[in-house]
Amino acid sequence: MVKIGVLVSGGGTNLQALLDAQKRGEIPDGEITLVIASRKKAYALERARMAGVPALALPRRDYENPADYDAALLTALQEAGVELVVLAGFLCVLGEKMLKGYEGRIVNVHPSLIPAFCGDGFYGLHVHEAALERGVKVTGATVHLVNEVTDGGPILLQKAVEVLESDTPESLQKRVMEQAEWVLLPKAVSMLCQKIEKEKHQ
């Protein structure tokens, strides 16, 4: 069974999608064993506790520089025996230590069809605002592996979502989450767990 660590910053809706999928038996080779939030007040911590998953706050502001924060993250994950790291609305950029420590084993969900509306500065509502400003008719979500380029790692899964004329950034965000992010992320996590489990037994 692959131990999964989920990194969050806010409400944790993608974490909830993973917890629900796990409950339904959709991640047969993995188990969420740790949730780390970059903010003490992140509601995601409460979601983890309600699901009986160990959770801790590791506030970014407690660390003077990004490298120290990165090292603290890596230590917390490794001490818990985490084998796969999932970024579920985690708003801190990972540094070299994390990327090397979990190379090929960090996955992120992004609320657009990469390469559209991605990279530095494109997160949360900003992505949907940009999509509406551009006038695109289709947007969606992408699950990709994480490397040193923001939203630049290999793409695992994508799903398109129609943009409606009446859409606001908020309504579009909600639909992309429900129709794409919450569907793709558990699927990708399950795929990666299967792959890691296979590698263990080779």
153 token code pair: 């790692």
Q: Which of 110, 126, 144, 201 is catalytic?
A: 110
201 is catalytic: no
User: d(Cα 137, Cα 31) in Å, to the nearest integer?
Assistant: 37
Catalytic residues: 110
